[in-house]
Amino acid sequence: MLLNYLDKTVLLALIAIVLTVGCHQITEEV
């Protein structure tokens, strides 16, 4: 249960980072 919870947290964190970096790159290009 704990490992599964940590895995979900890590996945959400990675997705958030990817979205943030992607948005920054898009705004910089525009």
Residue 18: predicted pLDDT: 96
Residue 15: predicted pLDDT: 97
pLDDT one-digit tens code per residue, 1-30: 677 888 999 999 999 999 999 988 888 777
Tell me the whole-structure pTM to 2 decimals: 0.62
* Cα torsion through 19, 24, 17, 12, rounded to 10: -30
Residue 1: predicted pLDDT: 64
From the list 22, 26, 4, the residue with the least C-alpha distance to 14 is 22
Residue 25: predicted pLDDT: 86
3-state helix, strand, coil in the chain (%, to 5): 95, 0, 5
